[in-house]
């Protein structure tokens, strides 16, 4: 790390730009308390409270945790030991640990809203204020299934019905959060009557839109940095209004962490999709496919890689020109970078970005 490496006479500096981990893995390698601990917030020195046997972190204005305060252990309750990573020169324990949005927003917030609040899982008691009726759930499920034929090939998974909600993958939650739920949820979530309000309003829907708009802005490659501060305000509003709609025990660590998501985009100056574990999860799937048993996985993987490099022709990973394909049935398709265009719906539309 201090000296860099030299390959074929060229010198390269080496540094760690960021770490991608889920919450338990972050607390494990940083040697900090786990996500139910009183002082577990990685960005603030907030102390948790216990409400209905759940640890919640309602304060979003406490003193920020800095690189120095972490290394000096100014809040000893946050630490469980000394992380071996502190021996790395220039180690930055706060800014380099990304709050991964695949786990945090898709598998965390989105899953919680759907599974625990709006649609109660089989056998579980429904949330009294916010859960939808069976008729509304089946309407939402039908709307989702009707969308299957409308989702283009770029999305790795097509939406399933709500019966499979508990088995949804992060990619399915991403599709719901970023693209389809704002349209599908309209007039489905129950209306709310708050003190001083004359007519009941779709507060749950508007509250969800805060999460949707903020995440969409941070996922936009051209707008993410410019609108990050605005997205931060929306996330904060989302978090602060959780107890009004979902009860005092709703501000758990996963929900609390949304107020910090925009800081990563500001720090690393790139959109959320570049700051997520999605690409690593895909690679993990490919790595797993190469293994034949659970015995010595690393050695097995190195051998498979060696075989691939020895016996297969080198493949060009980057396609700068469009490739045309014709299937046996005579269907044509064009593959260009990460896009597939076909003559039939839903892959026959193109949105151009030039002016």
For Zn ion, the binding residues (CB under 5 A) are 41, 43-44
The candidate with the shortest Cα–Cα distance to 260, out of 116, 105, 38, is 105
Residue with smallest beta-carbon separation from Zn ion: 41
**Helix/strand/coil for 258:** helix
Token reading at 254: 């996963």
d(CA 241, CA 319): 47
CA angle 261–250–102, rounded 5-degree value: 35
| In the complex, minimum distance from the CB of residue 87 to Zn ion, in angstroms, rounded to a whole number | 26
Please report how close the Cβ of residue 40 comes to Zn ion at its closest, in angstroms.
9
Task: Provide the Cα torsion 29, 30, 36, 37; round to 10°.
Answer: 140
Nearer Cβ to Zn ion (83/251): 251
Please, what is the minimum distance in Å from the beta carbon of residue 262 to Zn ion? Answer: 12
The DSSP call for residue 250 is G
* Residue 157 CB, nearest approach to Zn ion (Å): 31
When the beta carbons of 44 and 235 are compared against Zn ion, the nearer one is 44
Q: Which two tokens stand for residue 207?
A: 């509250």
Q: How far is the CB of 119 from Zn ion (least distance, A)?
A: 28
Q: Considering the complex, what minimum distance in angstroms separates the CB of residue 134 from Zn ion?
A: 37
Closer residue to Zn ion, CB minimum distance, 61 or 344? 61
Looking up tokens 């990050």 gives 228
Closer residue to Zn ion in complex, CB, 39/118: 39
Q: Rounded CA gap, 128 and 351, in Å? A: 43
- Residue 187 contacts residue 181 (beta carbons within 8 Å): no
Rounded Cα distance between 230 and 236, Å, is 10
CA distance 137 to 129: 15
**Residues 106, 99: Cα–Cα separation, whole Å:** 12
CB nearer Zn ion, residue 173 or residue 239: 239
Q: Which C-beta is closer to Zn ion: that of 6 or that of 61?
A: 61
Q: Are 112 and 274 contacting, i.e. CB atoms less than 8 angstroms apart?
A: no
Q: How far is the CB of 60 from Zn ion (least distance, A)?
A: 7
The CB-of-232 to Zn ion minimum distance in angstroms stands at: 12
Q: Give the separation between CA 41 and CA 45, rounded to whole angstroms.
A: 7
Q: Return the number of the residue (76 or 314) whose C-beta is nearest Zn ion.
A: 76
Write the DSSP symbol of residue 78. G
Nearer to Zn ion among residue 64 and residue 346 (C-beta): 64
């Amino acid at each position: 790390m201090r000296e860099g490496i030299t390959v074929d006479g060229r010198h390269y500096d080496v540094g760690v730009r960021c770490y991608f981990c889920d919450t338990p893995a972050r607390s494990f390698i940083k040697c900090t308390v786990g996500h139910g601990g009183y002082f577990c917030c990685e960005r603030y020195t907030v102390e948790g409270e216990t409400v209905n046997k759940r640890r919640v972190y309602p304060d979003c204005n406490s003193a920020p945790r800095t690189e120095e305060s972490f290394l000096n252990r100014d809040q000893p309750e946050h630490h469980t030991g000394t992380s071996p990573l502190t021996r790395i020169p220039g180690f930055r324990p706060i800014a380099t640990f990304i709050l991964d949005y695949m786990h945090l927003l898709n598998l965390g917030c989105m899953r919680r809203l759907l599974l625990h609040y709006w649609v109660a899982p089989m056998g579980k008691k429904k949330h009294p204020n916010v859960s939808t009726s069976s008729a509304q759930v089946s309407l939402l499920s039908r709307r989702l299934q009707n969308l299957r034929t409308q989702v283009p090939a770029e999305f790795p998974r097509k939406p399933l019905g709500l019966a499979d909600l508990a088995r949804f993958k992060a990619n399915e939650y991403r599709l719901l959060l970023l693209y389809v739920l704002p349209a599908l949820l309209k007039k489905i979530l129950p209306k709310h009557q708050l003190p001083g309000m004359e007519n009941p309003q779709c507060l749950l829907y508007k509250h969800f839109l805060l999460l949707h708009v903020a995440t969409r802005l941070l996922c936009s490659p051209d707008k993410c940095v410019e609108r990050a501060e605005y997205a931060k305000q929306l996330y904060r509003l989302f978090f602060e209004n959780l107890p009004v709609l979902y009860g005092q025990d709703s501000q758990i660590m996963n929900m609390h962490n949304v107020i910090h998501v925009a800081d990563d985009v500001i720090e690393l100056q790139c959109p959320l999709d570049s700051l997520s574990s999605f690409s690593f999860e895909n690679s993990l799937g490919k790595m797993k496919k190469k293994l034949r048993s659970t015995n010595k996985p690393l050695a097995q993987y190195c051998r498979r890689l060696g075989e691939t490099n020895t016996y297969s022709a080198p493949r060009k990973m980057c396609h700068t020109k469009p490739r045309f394909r014709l299937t046996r049935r005579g269907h044509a398709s064009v593959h260009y970078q990460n896009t597939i265009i076909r003559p039939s719906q839903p892959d026959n539309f193109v949105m151009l970005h030039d002016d």
